[in-house]
A and B are shown apart, each in its own frame.
Chain A
Amino acid sequence: RKEVEQDPGPFNVPEGATVAFNCTYSNSASQSFFWYRQDCRKEPKLLMSVYSSGNEDGRFTAQLNRASQYISLLIRDSKLSDSATYLCVVNRGNTPLVFGKGTRLSVIA
């Protein structure tokens, strides 16, 4: 079983839509959780950390369910510039990041 699993997509949505991505992780010892975005052939860029209480940054909301080992990212009012691959990332304390393969989003005008 992969340590971090994501639906690869692609998700094709119109501008203004709300879209949600899900991610599951297999290692219950995972302690820190992040969403990164990656544009084609570019580096991963940190979008937001994910906290147990859930957190919001503008149009983006991240949630964590430790019992179900599940992380989500909600994007409201999608913009063309949101088109990218969204990477779910976890680590187990003093260990390197473990990446999911990513979910591709295309926002269409």
Chain B
Amino acid sequence: EPEVTQTPSHQVTQMGQEVILRCVPISNHLYFYWYRQILGQKVEFLVSFYNNEISEKSEIFDDQFSVERPDGSNFTLKIRSTKLEDSAMYFCASSEGVGGYEQYFGPGTRLTVT
């Protein structure tokens, strides 16, 4: 069964450092997403991406964040200068379409900022 994959599974970084989180969405999916979940809190939307551009972003997704699809398979989230409050699980998701289409999530990257 096709699945979304993410690397690394755990990233520890120092405050102010840049991190890149990587995702390989399901191959025939066209819509890609990043969500995050701070420990003990709900899953929150960060950004959606379609046709090589951002289609929607939340208030959390400020200038410190960027996304890219550098090739035909990878989808990356970059945090330019990490803060302590960026510590969270970051989930990548993909879907065939929008609206009623189901989104499938990767296993997540646990980011710890020290």
Contact = CB atoms under 8 A, between A and B. Distances in A.
Interface of A: 31-32, 34, 41-46, 49, 87, 91, 93-102
Given A32-B99, A44-B91, A46-B102, A102 B42 contact: yes
Contact of A101 (B42, B89, B98): B42
A32 B100 contact: yes
B45 A97 contact: yes
Given A93-B98, A94-B99, A42 B107 contact: yes
Nearest to B57: A96
B89 A44 contact: no
A34 B107 CA distance: 19
How many B residues touch the partner, as a band?
20 to 34
A29 to B, nearest CB: 12
Contacts of A100: 42
Given A96-B48, A99-B44, A31 B99 contact: yes
A63 to B, nearest CB: 17
Contact of A87 (B43, B45, B98, B108): B43
Interface string B42-71: 111100100000011010000000000000
Contacts of B103: 46, 97
- Main secondary structure on chain A at its contact with chain B? loop
Contact of A99 (B42, B55, B58): B42
Given A49-B100, A96-B33, A102-B42, 18 more contacts: A31-B99, A31-B100, A32-B99, A32-B100, A43-B91, A43-B105, A43-B106, A43-B107, A44-B105, A87-B42, A91-B99, A94-B55, A96-B45, A96-B58, A97-B43, A97-B103, A99-B44, A101-B41
Nearest to B101: A32
B105 A45 contact: yes
Interface in B8-26: none
A40 to B, nearest CB: 11
A43 B109 CA distance: 10
